[in-house]
Structure 1
Amino acid sequence: MNKLHNYDIPPVPSVRLTAGLYALGKLASAGLTFVLLSLLMLFFPQQGGIPEGWPISVPYAIYAYGLPAALVADALLRVLRSGSHLLAWPIFAAAGFGAGVWLAAEQGAEMLPWGLGGIAGLLLFRAAQLFVERYPLMMPVFALFIPLLCLLLL
């Protein structure tokens, strides 16, 4: 008979599981940001689903510009090998400014106001990411169900 040795070897999560949870966390953060901005934009006039004064709709701004900027900010944090939460805020602010300028350049809007709006949007994205990481059972809800419900209702 073979003897089983009880070694204290911690289980290592698979790469697929880690990547999947990362992607789900990012989508949940984008979904929570979308919900919060959509609730805020209910108090402003809209025309065709686009808030007045905005060059694009809220979901397009978050998923097409904010999400890639958040991925770039995460990549910068990974390259810097920083686990500090204090360093993450300025990096997300810089990435948000870049996303706002990118949006303004593509949509023909003014650079500075949209750069500042990008900072606010990506800092909200970072706060949503911290919330989602704190409550992981909410990830599927904010990644899929709540944003789809918002899109149906708006």
Structure 2
Amino acid sequence: MNKMPDYDIPSVRLTSGLYALTKLACAGLTYVLISLLMLGFPQHNGVPEGWPLSIPYAIYAYGLPAALVADVLLRLLRSTSHIVSLVVYVAAGFGAGLWLAAEQGAELLLWGLAGILGLLLLRITQLGVERSPLLLPVFALFLPLLCLLLL
């Protein structure tokens, strides 16, 4: 039996754990950015006026699953094209916005477009946090918790 050296096989747990931490970090950074943008707008019990739900709920319950679906679709398509990636993320974002609007009783087109913007922001933050893997725990846990405590 041929034995393969251990250093040639990447750990599945390490790879999937790093992927999950990256997704949580990009969701956390997106939450902080949107919270900072919405800081000047009136809010009632943590929900900005005109929004059907709170910012963290929108990101973690609707945006993050849509980003995971988009990543699965990109993995299945095996495409490295940025155009295909953009199209898949736009479609998944529109789907997330429609899902949010259907469940929360909001306007479909408006929240479909908001879902596109939210998922594109998730993708941009993912590209940003992948460049600094040492900051992943900060963006995934500490910064969103600090933002929740302060806001």
What range is the shorter-chain TM-score in?
Answer: over 0.9
Task: Report the equivalent of 1:113.
Answer: 110
User: What TM-score does the superposition give when structure 1 sets the normalisation length?
Assistant: 0.92
SS in 2 for 1:59: helix
Give the Cα separation in 2 of the matches to 1:41 and 1:68. 23
Q: Percent identity?
A: 73
1:6-63 Cα shifts (integer Å, max 9, x gaps): xx99532200000000000000010010000000010111011000000000000000
Number of residue pairs matched by the alignment: 147
For 2:147, give the aligned amino acid.
C
Residues 22/106 of structure 1: CA separation in 2 closer, same or farther (3 Å cut): same
Q: Which runs of 5+ in 2 are unaligned?
A: none
Residues 10/123 of structure 1: CA separation in 2 closer, same or farther (3 Å cut): same
1:91-130 correspondence to structure 2 within 5 Å:
91-130=88-127
* 1:139 and 2:112 aligned: no
1:50-129 correspondence to structure 2 within 5 Å:
50-129=47-126
CA RMSD, 1 decimal = 1.3
Give the Cα separation in 1 of the matches to 2:7 and 2:15. 16
Give the Cα separation in 1 of the matches to 2:61 and 2:22. 17
1:54-86 Cα shifts (integer Å, max 9, x gaps): 000000000000000000000000000112233
Shift of 1:134: 1.3
User: What TM-score does the superposition give when structure 2 sets the normalisation length?
Assistant: 0.94
For 2:87, give the aligned amino acid.
P
Task: Report the equivalent of 2:149.
Answer: 152
SS in 1 for 2:115: helix
Give the Cα separation in 2 of the matches to 1:86 and 1:97. 16
